[in-house]
């Protein structure tokens, strides 16, 4: 009965139209739209990856091996289960011409490649024809960027190792490129058989081999995978199939979009400020209606339900608008988005992200409206006879406080569960709550300071400034809503600015100071001494460090699958470098246990990096099984040592006693520390003397990493800008809501003799003051967040970055000025008589 | 020698409303002498407040001429009118019209500051003392009663020592006793500063305290305007 009655009254009340709810709808719709859009793009990419899984992977399934080719037994198994098998070899090398040399990621293929998809070349020839070459010299195709850098065109020659190639065509599209992940050099494709005399695939060389398989229609991938794991157990193989053709990419897309959804939630929270303000203002205007309803006998429940239904209907409308916007905009812009994505995407309406966005929208709207709605219970019939609004001080009934916390908990739990980033989601929620608390505290402080300043002796006579201070600090001030709405977006931007500049600074500015000039891989045993001697004698070379290097996968810890002890720690993801050494590395700090004797030849022992070992719950004496070149080596952990990866020097998680790895074919890696001026000469000399080795210029690698970081920062910045846009709408809402009081103030000031210029200056100054205050608070909060993340998460030194900080204050001032002044013209133009008469 | 501070010649005011153009004032001609107190009375809607607004330059006449202290108010721009008010006029409204974001002291000091008075706050403080609000200077309007707010408004109007004091039903929102006290203060201020007072009121009693009374009816001066003899 109560519900029906409340619904009837609510519907009658809604006849008044939605004009007072534009900001409410805009805030909610925009917040929901941002989250829905991010989710839609994510699902579209994932659907695209799923659809094209086989093409991206290069087969229905792939078996990857580190450092070796498949054995006869493994080949036999593949031949049995697959209709077709293609062998791919992937490694880094140097492409060399008479005048130039550059790092390249080589893919050596057979004639079955690609099993799925097509390679696109320029000129338009088949890959087989291109790799055939001119009969005397084998052919190759190369990324345009690499060919241009080396000044090569079709028909020109270059060398890989000791083998000459003719560049037959430019590689325009590599069908399985997306599965390749992060590579340091652009791609070159050659035929594997052409590398026989290159000296590049000798035992111990660092390369990956992949065997892509095509199965019969309807083959059961689950069964085949299970068979592979049983039949080829202990081979150290990595299995992938078309169900998830690019797991690294999918994970990256999922993680980035989950993070963007969290940023979107910040935007929704900012929108919540606008939603809350709109509901408060609406309910304020309904005080007399509520009092009348109570006079007529309506109970608390009826009144609450009446307005809950109205707000609920508007929430529904806002969410539907947001879902339509967030779901349809990516589809409308699909061709544009697809063109800028390096991966396939299938743009269509995806229900999951829309449901997710709707859930977030509903919970946020509830969170920000329950409190003002609860206040309707406190309106008494007697208020009809008083000029009082709903802005009673004090808290609502305890049950509503409990409900508020329950909704907040549900929101945080949803974000943690749906994003899959539990820790980041919880930290973000805590950060957001802390940011809101800080901003509320700051706005109270700003108002107190402004009130003090308005009364300060030295400001007397400076009417404009004093009036502005009075408005910032006085009753009915817009300070809190502006600082809140603008502050959260600016804080996120400030934090991004600080983290980005510090992180990139650490990588691009500080790292080259301590990092080596070159990282050299694939140095053969018989080349090592000559390599070291040659470089040490070279002018400009400061130090050369080298270490033997093998690669292996940790498969078991104490006889149980490694993941059972160490979870999904990154050390277990794929293969890791392993070295051996008689003595501890120079300057190494052993934190626990002891290093083996120089002549130790007992059961294998391993020294583990201390920090990673702690994260993986390893203890001294644990047995770690490492698969090296298909052979399992079980070694006892006998010591932990500190490994510093921050200098980009040689550092191994795993170091074993030499006897443990005796006989395993391997190469050496080296770091060369040299003057920047000498770098080019060193590379030239190395490439000529040791054609098989690969030298990676650390500065180039740093540039690549910086580039990736810049792209990620840009994506997050767009997210923060969406938050700021929502903040802008709240700001406009606040400015619009304050227009009436500004009109009155302008009329009174004109009556007292103020010119329009003086009034405008007063309005502008107060907007600028609040904007600057919001900016300053954001910088403080952003710098604190930046410091925390830089110092404790990224483990680098923090330096305050002033340029983005300054831009944020200026941005804050500009945004509030624009919003404030946009609503200043009405008050300035209004005739005082008509304004004041209307108030009589 | 008589000194005319304000003259109106065939002053007219028409406003555009939803129901079309409404003629509010239909040719008012009058003059006010320095130091005089003039009461404007008449029924609701007769145009009393509008006439006061024309006199204060808060409303622009749509016809005729309004001259105050030698300035033709119909020819002055909005900012010039503001400057004129700042130098020569004080206005008190029925609904007080204090700025809610300012304390009592700041409200009173504002016109003095706008006029560039160096000791604006000291004078504002003294003015609040005069109206009996020494203890309420740091209070915001919302923290004061209606009577207190109107006393602040009086202090604000009187503080710049205006030549002309315009009061639009200053006791209309107050109870009888408080209204009486406000009127005592208003006339007291006028007497102390020698300003010309033009008072819109419904009350014949209050009007009787003025030197002269003009009765308005339907936007015009009623024939019996001089019915109340100056006492």
Confirm or reject contact between B56 and chain A (CB < 8 A).
yes
**B98 contacts on A by Cβ (under 8 Å):** 748
The answer to whether B91 contacts A837, with C-beta atoms less than 8 Å apart, is no
CB–CB of A833 and B156 under 8 A?
no
Interface check A744 vs B, CB under 8 A? yes
| Cβ <8 Å between B56 and A751 | yes
Alpha carbons B208 and B185: distance in angstroms, whole number: 16
Res B61 pLDDT > 70:
yes
Question: What are the tens digits of pLDDT across the range A814-826?
Answer: 988 888 888 888 8
pLDDT score for A191: 92
Distance CA B185, CA B166 (A): 14
Question: Can you tell me the mean pLDDT for A141-151?
Answer: 88
Q: B138 and A753 in contact by Cβ < 8 A?
A: no
Query: Are A631 and A663 a contacting pair, CB within 8 Å?
Result: no
Q: Considering only CB atoms, which chain B residues are within 8 Å of A830?
A: none
Contact A274, A729 (CB under 8 A): yes
Helix (H), strand (E) at residue A507: none
What are the pLDDT digits (tens) for A191-207?
A: 998 888 888 887 767 78
Indicate which of B57, B113, B145 best probes the interface with A, i.e. most A CBs within 10 Å of its own CB: B113
- Inform me whether the C-beta atom of residue B110 falls under 8 Å from chain A C-beta atoms: yes
Q: Does A479 touch chain B (CB under 8 A)?
A: no
pLDDT value of position A381: 62
How is the beta sheet containing B37-41 ordered, strand by strand?
B89-92, B164-168, B196-200, B37-41, B212-217, B220-221
Is the pLDDT at A446 greater than 70? The verdict is yes
pLDDT at A678 over 90: no
Cβ separation B49–A840 shorter than 8 A: yes
What band does B1 get if pLDDT is binned at 50, 70 and 90? Answer: very low
Q: Nearest-CA distance from A462 to chain B in Å?
A: 7
* Measured CA distances, A304 to A13, A518, B40 (Å): 13, 71, 50
For residue B82, give the nearest of A463, A750, A840 by CB distance: A750
Report the residue from A474, A749, A755 with minimal CB separation from B83: A755
B48 to chain A: which residues are within 8 Å by CB? none
Give chain B's mean pLDDT.
87
Per-residue pLDDT tens for B202-221?
A: 888 888 899 999 999 999 99
Lowest mean pLDDT among A90-99, A176-185, A398-407, B160-169: A176-185
Tens digit of each residue's pLDDT (9 = 90 or more) over A707-760: 777 777 777 777 777 777 777 887 787 777 778 888 888 999 998 888 898 899
Q: Is the dihedral of CA A617, A623, A624, A625 positive or negative?
A: negative
B16 touching A, CB under 8 A? no
Report the sign of the C-alpha dihedral through residues A737, A742, A748, A751, in that order: negative
pLDDT > 60? residue B226: no
Asked if A274 has any chain B CB less than 8 Å from its own CB, the reply is no
Q: What is the DSSP letter of A792?
A: I
CA distance B227 to chain A (A): 29
Tell me whether residues A833 and B115 touch, CB distance under 8 A: no
Confirm if A359 and A258 have CB atoms less than 8 A apart: no
Greater pLDDT, A333 or A236: A333
Q: Work out the average pLDDT over A753-781.
A: 89
Which residues, listed in sequence order, are joined to residue A654 by a DSSP beta bridge?
A578, A608
Per-residue confidence (pLDDT) for residue A204, from 0 to 100: 67
Whole-number pLDDT of residue B229: 41
β-bridge pairing A101-109 and A187-191: parallel
**Predicted local confidence at residue A394, as pLDDT:** 63
pLDDT-derived band at A829 (thresholds 50, 70, 90) equals: confident
Is B202 touching A (CB cutoff 8 A)?
A: no
What is the rounded distance in angstroms from the CA atom of residue A50 to the CA atom of residue A622?
40
Q: What pLDDT band is residue A189 in, cutting at 50, 70 and 90?
A: very high
CA distance A174 to A109: 12
Please, is B142 exposed, middle or buried when counting C-beta atoms within 10 Å of its C-beta (0-12, 13-18, 19+)?
A: exposed
Report whether pLDDT(A274) > 80. Answer: yes
**What is the reported pLDDT for A424?**
77
Q: B109, A460: Cβ pair inside 8 Å?
A: yes
Those residues whose C-beta lies under 8 Å from the C-beta of residue A367, and which sit 6 or more positions away, are A272, A404, A407, A408, A411
Lowest mean pLDDT among A252-256, A529-533, B78-82, B150-154: A252-256
Element (H or E) spanning A61, and its range?
Answer: strand A61-66
User: Averaging pLDDT over each range in A322-331, A391-400, B173-182, which range is the top one?
Assistant: A322-331
Phi-psi region of A630 (alpha: psi -120 to 50; beta: other; left: phi over 0): left
CB B143 within 8 A of CB B87: no
pLDDT at A181 > cutoff 70: no
pLDDT tens, residue by residue, A92-126? 888 888 887 888 889 999 988 888 888 899 889 99
What percent of chain A has pLDDT above 90? 17
Residues A730 and A292: their CA atoms lie apart, in Å, by 31
Check if A748 contacts B (Cβ < 8 Å): yes
CB B175 within 8 A of CB B16: no
Residue from the list B58, B84, B121 with its beta carbon closest to the beta carbon of A833:
B58
In this predicted structure, the answer to whether residue A133 has a pLDDT above a threshold of 50 is yes
More confident residue, A533 or A288: A533
Q: Angle of helix A300-332 relative to helix A2-14, nearest 10 degrees? A: 60
Give the residue from A833, A838, A839 with the most B CB atoms within 10 Å of its CB, the best one to mutate: A833
Q: CA torsion, points A147, A152, A155, A156, in degrees to nearest 10? A: -130
Chain B contacts of A460, Cβ < 8 Å?
109, 113, 120-121
Instruction: Locate the chain B residue with the closest alpha carbon to A748.
Output: B97
Please give the DSSP secondary-structure letter assigned to residue A221: H
For the cut 80, the answer to whether the pLDDT of residue B224 exceeds it is: no
Contacts of A476 in chain B (CB under 8 A): 100-101
- Cβ-Cβ contacts under 8 Å, A475 against chain B: 100-101, 140, 142
Q: What does the pLDDT read at residue A1? A: 57
Sheet holding B4-17, edge to edge: B20-33, B4-17, B63-68, B71-72
Respond yes or no on whether the N-terminal peptide bond of residue B114 is cis (omega within 30° of 0): no
Output the pLDDT for position A390: 44
Measure in Å the smallest separation between the Cα of A479 and chain B Cα atoms.
12
Question: Does A452 touch chain B if contact means CB atoms closer than 8 Å?
Answer: no
CB contact under 8 A, B85 and A752: yes
**Closest approach of A391 to chain B, Cα-based (Å):** 13
Q: Which of A374-383, A449-458, A534-543, A631-640 has the lowest mean pLDDT?
A: A374-383
Per mean pLDDT, which range of A254-263, A490-499, A614-623, A668-677 is the poorest?
A254-263
Contact: A753, B85; criterion CB under 8 Å: yes
Which of A471, A756, A833 is closest, CB to CB, to B79?
A756
Residues A757/A802, Cβ–Cβ less than 8 Å:
no
* Statement: residue B72 has pLDDT above 80: yes
Per-residue pLDDT averaged across A577-606, rounded?
88
Inform me whether the pLDDT recorded for A585 exceeds 70: yes
**Contact (CB<8Å) B95/A839:** yes
Residues of A in contact with B106 (CB under 8 A): 454-455, 466, 470
Highest mean pLDDT among A183-197, A453-467, A553-567, B155-169: B155-169
| Residue B161 touches chain A, beta carbons under 8 Å | no
Interchain CB contact of A504 with B (< 8 Å): no
B152 to chain A nearest CA, in Å?
Answer: 14
Give the burial string for B148-185 (b: 16+ CB within 10 Å, else e). Answer: bbbbbbbbbbbbbbbbbbbbbbbbbbbeeebbebbbeb
Is the per-residue pLDDT at A237 higher than 80? no
Cβ pair B86:A752 closer than 8 A: yes
DSSP state of B227: -
Chain-chain contact of B113 with A463 (C-beta, under 8 angstroms): yes
Q: What whole-number distance in Å separates Cα of residue B80 and Cα of residue B19?
A: 32
ipTM over the 0.85 cut-off: no
A392 lies within 8 A of chain B by CB: no
Separation CA A388–CA A379 (nearest Å): 9
Contact A836 B97 (CB under 8 A): yes
């Amino acid at each position: 009965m109560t519900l029906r009655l409340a619904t009837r009254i609510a519907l009658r009340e809604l006849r008044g139209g939605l004009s007072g709810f534009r900001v409410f709808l805009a805030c909610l719709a925009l917040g929901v739209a941002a989250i829905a859009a991010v989710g839609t793009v994510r699902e579209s990419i994932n659907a695209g990856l799923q659809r094209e899984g086989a093409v991206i992977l290069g087969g229905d399934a792939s078996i990857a091996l580190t450092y070796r080719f498949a054995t006869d037994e493994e080949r036999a198994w593949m031949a049995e289960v697959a209709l077709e098998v293609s062998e791919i070899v992937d490694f880094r090398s140097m492409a060399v011409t008479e005048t130039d040399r550059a790092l390249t990621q080589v893919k050596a293929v057979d004639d079955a490649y690609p099993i799925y998809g097509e390679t696109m070349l320029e000129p338009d020839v088949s890959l087989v024809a291109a790799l055939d070459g001119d009969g005397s010299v084998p052919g190759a195709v190369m990324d345009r960027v690499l060919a241009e850098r080396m000044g090569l065109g079709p028909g020109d020659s270059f060398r890989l190792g000791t083998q000459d190639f003719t560049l037959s065509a430019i590689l325009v599209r590599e069908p399985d490129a997306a599965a390749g992940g992060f590579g340091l050099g652009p791609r070159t494709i050659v035929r594997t058989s052409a590398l026989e005399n290159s000296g590049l695939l000798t035992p111990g060389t660092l390369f990956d081999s992949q065997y892509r398989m095509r199965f019969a229609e309807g083959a059961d991938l689950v069964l085949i995978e299970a068979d592979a794991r049983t039949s080829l157990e202990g081979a150290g193989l990595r299995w992938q199939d078309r169900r998830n053709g690019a797991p690294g990419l999918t994970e990256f897309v999922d993680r980035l979009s989950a993070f963007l959804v969290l940023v979107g939630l910040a935007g929704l929270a900012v929108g919540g400020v606008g939603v809350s303000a709109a509901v408060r203002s609406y309910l304020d205007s309904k005080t007399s209606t509520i009092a009348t309803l109570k006079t007529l006998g309506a109970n608390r429940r009826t009144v609450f339900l009446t307005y809950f239904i109205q707000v609920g209907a508007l929430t529904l409308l806002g969410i539907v608008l947001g879902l339509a916007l967030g779901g349809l905009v990516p589809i409308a812009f699909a061709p544009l988005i697809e063109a800028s994505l390096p991966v396939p995407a299938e743009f269509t309406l995806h229900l999951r992200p829309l449901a997710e966005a709707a859930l977030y929208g509903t919970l946020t709207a509830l969170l920000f409206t329950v409190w003002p709605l609860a206040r309707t219970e406190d309106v008494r019939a007697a208020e009809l006879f008083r000029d009082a609004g709903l802005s009673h001080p004090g808290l609502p009934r305890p049950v509503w406080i409990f409900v508020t916390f329950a909704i907040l908990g549900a929101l945080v739990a949803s974000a943690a569960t749906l994003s899959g980033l539990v820790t980041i989601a919880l930290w973000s929620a805590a950060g957001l709550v802390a940011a809101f608390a800080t901003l509320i505290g700051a706005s109270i402080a700003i108002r107190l300071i402004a009130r003090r300043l308005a009364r300060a002796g030295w400001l007397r006579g400076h009417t404009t400034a004093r009036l502005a201070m009075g408005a910032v600090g006085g009753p009915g001030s817009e300070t809190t809503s502006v600082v809140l709405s603008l502050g959260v977006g600016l804080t996120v931007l400030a934090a991004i600015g600080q983290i980005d500049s510090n992180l990139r600074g650490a990588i691009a500015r500080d790292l080259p100071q301590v990092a080596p000039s070159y990282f050299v891989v694939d140095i053969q045993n018989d080349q090592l001494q000559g390599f070291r001697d040659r470089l040490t004698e070279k002018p400009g070379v400061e130090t050369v460090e080298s270490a033997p290097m093998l690669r292996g996968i940790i498969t078991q810890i104490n006889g149980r699958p490694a993941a059972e002890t160490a979870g999904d720690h990154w050390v277990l993801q794929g293969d890791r470098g392993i070295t051996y050494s008689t003595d501890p590395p120079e300057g190494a700090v052993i934190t626990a246990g002891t290093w083996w004797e120089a002549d130790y030849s007992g059961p294998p022992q391993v020294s583990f990096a201390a920090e990673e070992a702690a994260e993986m719950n390893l203890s001294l004496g644990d047995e770690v099984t490492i698969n090296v070149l298909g052979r399992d080596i079980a070694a006892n952990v006998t010591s932990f040592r500190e490994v510093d990866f921050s200098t980009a020097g040689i550092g191994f998680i795993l170091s074993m006693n030499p006897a443990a790895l005796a006989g395993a074919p391997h190469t050496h890696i080296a770091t060369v520390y040299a003057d920047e001026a000498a770098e080019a000469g060193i590379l030239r000399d190395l490439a000529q003397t040791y054609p098989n080795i690969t030298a990676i210029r650390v500065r180039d690698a740093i540039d690549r990493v910086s580039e990736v970081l810049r792209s990620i920062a840009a994506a997050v910045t767009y997210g923060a800008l969406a938050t700021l846009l929502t903040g802008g709408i709240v700001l406009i809402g606040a400015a619009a809501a304050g227009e009436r009081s500004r009109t009155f103030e302008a009329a009174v000031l004109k009556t007292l003799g103020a010119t329009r210029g003086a009034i405008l200056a007063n309005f502008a100054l107060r907007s600028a003051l609040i904007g600057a205050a919001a900016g300053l608070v954001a910088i403080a909060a952003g710098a604190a967040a930046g410091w925390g993340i830089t110092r404790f998460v990224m483990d680098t030194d923090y330096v305050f970055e002033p340029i983005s900080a300054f831009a944020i204050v200026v941005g804050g001032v500009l945004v509030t000025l624009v919003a404030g002044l946009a609503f200043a013209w009405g008050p300035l133009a209004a005739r005082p008589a008509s304004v004041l008469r209307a108030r009589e | 020698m008589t000194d005319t501070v304000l003259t109106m010649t065939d002053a007219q005011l028409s406003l555009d409303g939803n129901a079309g153009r409404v003629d509010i004032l239909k040719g008012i001609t009058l003059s006010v002498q320095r130091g005089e107190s003039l009461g404007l009375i008449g029924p609701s809607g007769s145009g009393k407040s509008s006439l006061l607004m024309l006199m204060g330059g808060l409303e622009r006449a749509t016809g005729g001429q309004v001259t105050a202290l030698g300035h033709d108010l119909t020819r002055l721009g909005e900012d010039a009118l503001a400057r004129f008010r700042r130098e020569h006029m004080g206005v008190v409204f029925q609904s007080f019209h204090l700025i809610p974001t300012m304390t009592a002291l700041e409200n009173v000091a504002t016109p003095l500051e706008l006029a560039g008075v160096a000791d604006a706050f000291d004078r504002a403080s003294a003015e609040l003392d005069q109206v009996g609000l020494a203890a309420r200077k740091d209070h915001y309007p919302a923290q004061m009663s209606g009577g207190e707010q109107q006393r602040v408004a009086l202090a604000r109007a009187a503080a710049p020592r205006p030549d002309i004091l315009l009061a639009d039903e200053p006791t209309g929102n107050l109870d009888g006793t408080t209204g009486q006290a406000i009127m005592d203060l208003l006339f007291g201020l006028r007497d102390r500063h020698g300003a010309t007072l033009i008072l819109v009121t419904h009350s014949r009693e209050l009007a009787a305290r003025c030197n002269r009374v003009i009765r308005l009816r339907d936007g015009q001066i009623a024939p019996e305007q001089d019915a109340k003899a100056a006492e």
